Amino acid sequence: MRSRLPRPEAAGGCNVRPVRELRDKVCVVTGAGSGIGRALALALASGGARLAISDIDPETVADTAAAAAALGAEVGHYQLDVSDRDAVARHAAQVIARFGVVNLLVNNAGVAVDKPVAALPLEDIEWLMGINFWGVVYGSTAFLPHLIASGDGHLVNISSIFGIVGAPQQAAYCAAKFAVRGFTESLRQELLLSGDPVKVSCVHPGGVKTGIARAARSNDRTSDELAAEFDRIARLTPERAAAIIVRGVQRDQARILVGADARAIDLIQRLLGAGYQRIAARAAAAQRDRADRVRPGGPAPPAPGRRRT
């Protein structure tokens, strides 16, 4: 059967990937009050984009907006809870009313839960899925018609390296991030088939030094302990992560792996298949032992479902 998909060289007569110009494009970023979202907003502002940025925290997003405006960008900032379907639909209308067009949407807002399944309240899974999965679905579907209408749209969904491999204590997070990958890769293929002018990228960061661990829900770690443990393994700054994501968008990469750890874990998963799980479990145990050694009060008491080896 002959493929109906356009060949890459059809557009320009060669195999060089086009680099997408983001100057003057209207870019929407959720969860822009801190971490990767804030760094992305500022990277886009530096590149001359027009910004519609949001966060559930109105103060932090106002701060990002002020920093982006200081770089010369036109910025609208909004309070938005991405897990609220009607609010996301209203937000899409609000952005169109102000800017008239949307060229780039980054569904970035996210939270974490650090609990084993045996001690994981269903409410925590529902809370996390509401933000990390449904937030992405609401954003993608509310903005897709506008991205198509722009004639030059790009949808970017932030998954994680935990959208490629599972990890202990991260079942809820991994479930949401795997789901984001499945949703995003399917949508990219649908748009390739339909020929609608929207690119789609799924982003898989490894460890990035942000506040995500501090804000995570946990049974047996304080937010200080979670943050300290995370900072030991997270290698990349949010600014570097944002630069990699922007470059991936400009090159229309379907899968954007962020950081050497993400690239290494992705390779291990592809080489070992399901066999990666034994290695990952050993690495998690070693990391937990390291964290316990430096913990001021000694090892954390084992929480339900967290057996000491």
Given the rule CB under 6 A, which residues bind ligand NAD? 30-31, 33-37, 55-57, 60, 80-83, 108-111, 131, 158, 160, 205, 207-208, 210-212, 215, 234
Q: Shortest Cβ distance from residue 266 to ligand NAD (Å)?
A: 13
- Cβ atoms within 10 Å, residue 271: 9
* Minimum CB distance to ligand NAD, residue 54 (Å): 7
Kindly report the CA angle at 222 between 54 and 278, in degrees rounded to 5? 90
* Sign (positive or negative) of CA dihedral 242, 247, 252, 255: negative
Whether 78 sits among the annotated catalytic residues: the reply is no
The H or E element that residue 237 is part of is none
At its nearest, how many Å lie between ligand NAD and the CB of residue 288? 18
Between residues 34 and 103, which has the closer beta carbon with respect to ligand NAD?
Answer: 34
Helix or strand (DSSP H, E) at 177: helix 171-194
HSE (side-chain half, CA atoms, 13 Å) at 267: 6
Closest distance to ligand NAD from the beta carbon of 27 (Å): 16
Nearest distance from residue 180's CB to ligand NAD, in Å?
Answer: 8
- Taking the least distance from each CB to ligand NAD, the nearer of 165 and 208 is 208
Whichever of 68 and 212 has its CB closer to ligand NAD, that residue is: 212
309/295 Cα distance (integer angstroms): 17
Shortest reach from residue 289's CB to ligand NAD, in Å: 21
214 in Cβ contact with 223 (< 8 Å): yes
Contact criterion met (CB below 8 Å) for 172 and 113 = yes
Using CA atoms, how far residue 148 sits from 5, 96, 151, 153, in Å, is: 18, 13, 6, 6
List of residues 6+ apart from 108 with CB closer than 8 A = 29, 30, 31, 32, 36, 37, 40, 156, 158
* C-alpha span between 162 and 147 (Å, rounded): 27
Nearer to ligand NAD by Cβ, of 55 and 220: the residue is 55
Both structure tokens of 202: 């799924």
- Which member of 78, 138, 173, 276 is catalytic? 173
Residue 65 or 208 having the CB closest to ligand NAD: 208
- Residue 39's nearest CA partner among 281, 186, 237 is 237
Select 92 or 150, whichever has its Cβ closest to ligand NAD.
92
The catalytic site residues sit at 173
